[in-house]
Copies of this chain bind each other. A is one copy, B any other.
């Protein structure tokens, strides 16, 4: 668990266990256990909106698999789906979904506030100045309305391609806006509105383009004085696992801006790979794309290697996998960690073995010293210490130095 490549993830803390009268619990056996990871192990929560709203109980069991590994849910705020008819946003259902995740202990992220794809058709009819005002109002509405449950937003998505996106019959209004205002002004308006609406939120710039184009965009945005809280890097690996070398090369290139990196959209398929000549992944959606035994073995190997690589890099703050189940997966790809029939694939077990195994402190008996102290070492996150039916909570908050905390049994 404490391999040196993860030392930036690991806290070392002396916990003084106190009875509820404030006296140290000296020379006693206590049970210490981890309760939550500080690291963001994310997945999308799109499929559970009906369950959270009491519309369907079908995914009840699958949700248990979700919560057993993941602690951060990305919820869909795709504008054309969220507000297909102008002025009638799907706010209440999404609020209940967000609250449901929060009630289950998950953090909630919104995706995305501004994006050219899935821009509503009704937006296209508006003149550009009105498009901008409408985009600004939509950002304020969502970020304000969800401020108590959504603490992280993809403020704007895929800006590199935004003003020249052409994979559609009619130019959408967001592409028009970005083309007329320029990329940086468009990024600025997204961050400006979201920041004003919730100054405490973590706001991301998110992109799939890992080339120098994204670097150039980031440098321009930072030079323009726009504050970004984290860089979102997509990694839909339908055309094959990047491998450790490319992954590290990408991480190092984007880490040099000194911002946390979020791997916002991560997929590895457990079936045939998409042909390498496909440019826009949306252009390849075969009628049938099955998960195969060989593919599942490969996926399990790759997901373990990939998460190891990501967590070993100090800049990575969160990794969101893109879908738990193959059922309804993007592009119909077998990119889930659970088969369409609801059974876990080897990749699910491989990831769980890391998140709740190698990187997790299970209930462990430790003996307090004469001053009631135990030393706890583990992945940063929330912990509990138990004794005689009572519990104290504490947090491993910092890597790289010995912390001291008190835990009062109650």
Contact = CB atoms under 8 A, between A and B. Distances in A.
Interface of A: 160-161, 163-164, 179, 182-185, 209, 211-217, 219-224, 253, 256
Contacts of A164: 212, 215, 253
A179 to B, nearest CB: 7
A212 B213 contact: yes
Contact of A160 (B185, B209, B212, B253): B212
A256 B175 CA distance: 14
Main secondary structure of the interface of A (DSSP, over half): helix
Contact of A216 (B179, B183, B222, B253): B183
Copies of this protein in the assembly total: 2
A216 B214 CA distance: 8
A184 B217 CA distance: 11
A213 B215 CA distance: 8
Pick from A161, A216, A223, A256 the residue with the most CB of B within 10 Å.
Answer: A216
A396 B153 CA distance: 57
Contacts of A209: 212
A54 to B, nearest CB: 44
A256 to B, nearest CB: 7
Contact of A217 (B161, B185, B216): B216
A256 B183 CA distance: 13
A114 B30 CA distance: 66
A220 B215 CA distance: 11
Contact of A213 (B179, B216, B222, B256): B216
A213 B220 CA distance: 11
A223 B220 CA distance: 7
A161 B253 CA distance: 12
A175 to B, nearest CB: 13
Contacts of A179: 256
Given A209-B212, A211-B213, A212-B213, A220 B184 contact: yes
A253 B214 CA distance: 18
A214 B221 CA distance: 14
A209 B217 CA distance: 14
18 contacts: A160-B212, A164-B215, A179-B256, A182-B219, A183-B215, A184-B220, A184-B223, A209-B212, A211-B213, A213-B215, A214-B216, A216-B217, A216-B220, A217-B219, A220-B220, A220-B224, A223-B223, A223-B224
